[in-house]
Amino acid sequence: MSESGFPDPSGLDMTPPPQLEAIEAATTTLGFNMASVRETGALLRALAAAKPGANVLELGTGTGIATCWLLDGLDQDGHLVTVEIDPVVQQVAKIDLGYDPRINFVEEDAVSFLHHAPRGTFDLIFADSIPGKFSELDDALALLAEDGVYIVDDLLPQDNWPEGHAPKVPKFIDNIKSRAGLTVEYWEWSSGILLARKTGDAG
């Protein structure tokens, strides 16, 4: 564990989940280039495993690469809700992971989901979409349960960043670090990781 209580990335188990190879192959075939890297996946698995019966939210299923790491960390009483607006990419995840009763695939715009999802109910939120990260941040943090963890990746420069993305990153980091009720840690590791643990009102 790091000083903040988050898993130490140097000690993460990098053994891939059994479904990962098939999902990565389908992701390449589809030409989808916005998937999380394996280091991030290993961290997500460790975070999901840290709380028995965890209730987890993923904003941005993509093709399910991060999704399979999250599922691999959940115990049998855990539950994962994963939200994606694009049914084509989410279908890749459904093919390899849809058999698992712990997962609920939601085909919906993340903005809409964040506006109606029940507050204070998720132990872990992985925000891998613009909504919940660069927009609707208040709504995303409001979904965290007490002691819940919010995580985002891709905060270090990436070749696939769209135009106008780069200036949003430091603003986002400064915004979330300024909030009361959160313990925040930023790592220039993997693709750039920020974790925030809810300790009070994070408004």
Domain count of the fold of the chain? 1
pLDDT of 109 strictly over 90: yes
Say what the pTM is: 0.94
pLDDT at 6: 85
**pLDDT above 90: percentage of residues in the chain:** 83
Q: Calculate mean pLDDT across residues 83-94.
A: 97
Tell me, what's the pLDDT at 134? 94
In a domain, 101, yes or no: yes
Q: Which of 163, 154, 146 is nearest to 190 (CA)?
A: 154
CATH classification at residue 143: 3.40.50.150
* Rg, the chain, Cα only: 16
Packing angle of the helix pair 87-97, 65-73 (nearest 10 deg) = 40
Residue 2 pLDDT greater than 70, yes or no: no
Distance CA 194, CA 156 (A): 11
Q: Is residue 60 part of a domain?
A: yes
Is the residue at 124 inside a domain? yes
Q: What digits encode the pLDDT tens for the residues 156-174?
A: 988 877 787 888 999 999 9
pLDDT at res. 162:
77
Which domain does 138 fall in, by range? 36-198
Indicate left, alpha or beta for 120 from its phi (over 0: left) and psi (-120 to 50: alpha): left
In a domain, 3, yes or no: no
Q: Report which secondary-structure segment, H or E, holds 100.
A: none
pLDDT of 187 higher than 60: yes
d(CA 40, CA 32): 17
For residue 31, tell me if it sits in a domain: no
Per-residue pLDDT reduced to its tens digit, 21-74: 999 999 999 988 888 899 999 999 999 999 999 999 999 999 999 999 999 999
Whether 7 contacts 151, CB under 8 Å: no
Residue 122 lies in a domain: yes
125 forms beta bridges with 57, 150
pLDDT of residue 54: 98
CA distance linking residue 142 with residue 201, whole number of Å: 8
Q: Would you mind telling me the total number of residues written for the chain in this entry?
A: 203
Domain-located, residue 11: no
Token pair 């009720």: residue = 181
**Is residue 62 a part of any domain in this protein?**
yes
Q: Using an 8 Å Cβ cutoff, are 189 and 9 in contact?
A: yes
**Whether pLDDT at 3 is above 70:** no
- Mean predicted lDDT score pLDDT of the chain: 93
Quote the CA–CA distance of 148 and 137 in Å, as a whole number. Answer: 15
Q: Residue range 88-93: average pLDDT?
A: 96
Concatenate the DSSP letters of all residues of 135-203 into one string: BSHHHHHHTEEEEEEEEE---S--TTPPTT-TTHHHHHHHHHHT-TTEEEEEE-STT-EEEEEE-S---
